[in-house]
Amino acid sequence: MTDQLGALTVIFTEFYYWVTVVLMFLIHVGFCMYEVGASRYKHHQHTLMKNTMVIPLVTVTWFFFGWWIYWAFPTGPGIAPSIMNESAALITDESTFSAKWYLANSEFMAVNLGDHISGVFWAAFLLFSWTAASIVSGAIIERITTFAFGILAIAIGSFFWVIDAAWGWHFDGWMLKILGYHDAYASGVIHAIAGGFALGVLIVLGPRIGKFSSSGEPRNIGPRNPWLVTVGLFLIYTGFWGFYAACNIPIFDLGPEYGMEGVTYWTATNIYVTPTTLSGITYNFLMSLSGGLLAGYVVAKGDPFWTYSSGLAGIICASAGNDLYHPIQAMLIGAIGVVIAYKMHYWVERKFKIDDAVGAVAVHGYAGVAGLIICGFVLNGYPSSGYSVGAMWDGSTYASINPLGQFLGAIIMFGVLGMLPGYVIARILNAFGKLRIPRDVEIAGLDYEIMEDDREAEKAVASSTR
């Protein structure tokens, strides 16, 4: 960097993403607190460690192959040609946005004086990956082995969600081009897929012992520490705010990018490189949070566990279009999403005997799917990409946002890349006897031996003070 203004732009962008990464770390802190608060005393430490291990497992696999997938797969492969090289193959050529630069042995995946952005951008996406895995973690507490969860976390965090991000979030993604898919803050790309994946696992894993009576009536196993759950969800809200900022490009000149001769237009953009403002999405984040909280308080009759979760579900439902919605639209959409998620949770629980311990499938999955479909109607006709202005480099044109495209997108996110792989991998783990802990351990508590050791240690300490 030799000119000061250019250097300032680059360093600002680098610092911007770095701040979002630190903020998003709070999502994981929140998830850990939330899960421990929702679990029973005898499972606390196992629950905490299971979710904590998401951090190293998804991080190293994200480094080894996850980040490469995001850059390699936007074309499908084989579904729609890239606007960069006009090929429908994996993007592994020499172009600027090629996956080649993000192989684990690339010199850009390290300290590199010529690249200030790759590491912070990699980290921002990595934090999204932790979230995807952590969403699944909550639903399956108190009965899954750490080994099985590790495999499932890697599958959703470093593989399946990245494929959907390449398809539906990358500016060159085939879902934008063919379906007109729009999901600016990830109703589907992270939440619907993770919710669907959790549901697929839950079908195989089964409920916690005692969750259903012999006649099939569900019993409430409520949060054991509502205060920990409360603080956890506040932290998730905070981190989610950072996530919104992380989904934007903070400063970008759209004139040359769109091929507008002689036009300069500096702005923040969403992940699709279409203009939005950090200010505008701040309105919508808070209004959709509020819509969710208000609706949740009503449908859950003031129950704090569901009211807090509803705030999150409200944001998730509005997220697909929160780059463009009016704040009151965001509020109403958030409220609608919460009602759908809450009702669906209890219907599925009774009908199919699914024990989703923290309501993750509802809050992330059903609210995410609802958000995608609603977005298709509210933003019907908007361009899914700035590149749809005129012909693309390969001669085709991006589809505009439409209800059918969003509906198909929701099926792909929740069902094809979420629920189906979750179910299949869980079946394989189950076939090897590696999915669920033994019944006697579930009854005794996963922390039994740790607690027993603590008791002995305490006795020894007490005897030495006599």
The site for other proteins (CB under 8 A) is made up of 41-42, 57, 60-61, 63-64, 104-107, 110-115, 145-147, 150-151, 434, 437-441, 443-445, 447-449, 451-452, 454-455, 458
CB of 144 to other proteins, least distance (A): 11
Question: How far is it, in rounded angstroms, from Cα 258 to Cα 169?
Answer: 18
Q: How many residues does this entry show for the chain?
A: 466
Write down the least CB distance from residue 433 to other proteins, Å: 9
Helix/strand/coil for 149:
helix
Cα 197 to Cα 289: distance, rounded to the nearest angstrom: 24
Indicate the residue among 44 and 170 with the shorter CB distance to other proteins: 44
- Cβ atoms of 368 and 191 within 8 Å: the answer is yes
DSSP symbols for 317-376:
HHGGGTTT--HHHHHHHHHHHHHHHHHHHHHHHHHH----TT-HIIIIIIHHHHHHHHHH
Comparison of 5 and 113: residue with beta carbon closer to other proteins = 113
To other proteins, the closest distance from the beta carbon of 328 in angstroms equals: 48
Of the two residues 148 and 362, which places its CB atom closer to other proteins in the complex? 148
Q: What's the CA gap between 32 and 23, in Å, rounded?
A: 15
Question: Tell me, what amino acid is at 117?
Answer: I
Cα–Cα distance, 225 to 231 (Å, whole number): 10
Beta carbon of residue 192, minimum distance to other proteins (angstroms, whole number): 28
User: Whole-number minimum distance, CB 189 to other proteins, in Å?
Assistant: 26
Decide whether 428 or 444 has the Cβ nearer to other proteins: 444
Nearer to other proteins, 146 or 277 (CB): 146
Cβ distance to other proteins smaller for residue 209 or 424: 209
Q: How far is the CB of 88 from other proteins (least distance, A)?
A: 28
Minimum CB distance to other proteins smaller for 381 or for 433: 433
Cβ proximity of 196 and 413 under 8 Å:
yes
The residue (of 298 and 450) whose beta carbon lies closer to other proteins is: 450
Q: 160 and 93 in contact (C-beta within 8 Å)?
A: no
Closest C-alpha to 306, from 339, 353, 348 = 339
29-46 burial by CB neighbour count: b if 16+ within 10 A, else e? ebbbbbbbbbbbebbbbb
By C-beta, is 177 or 208 nearer to other proteins? 208
Among 37, 46, 48, 24, residue whose Cα is nearest residue 230? 37
Question: Phi and psi dihedrals of 101, rounded to 5?
Answer: -75, -15
In the complex, minimum distance from the CB of residue 456 to other proteins, in angstroms, rounded to a whole number = 9
Pick from 45, 345, 385: nearest CA to 220: 345
Cβ-proximal residues to 40 (8 Å cutoff; 6+ apart), any chain: 142, 221, 224, 445
Q: How far is the CB of 117 from other proteins (least distance, A)?
A: 12
Using alpha carbons, select from 384, 327, 353, 452 the residue that is nearest to residue 178.
384
Smallest distance, other proteins to C-beta of residue 43, A = 9
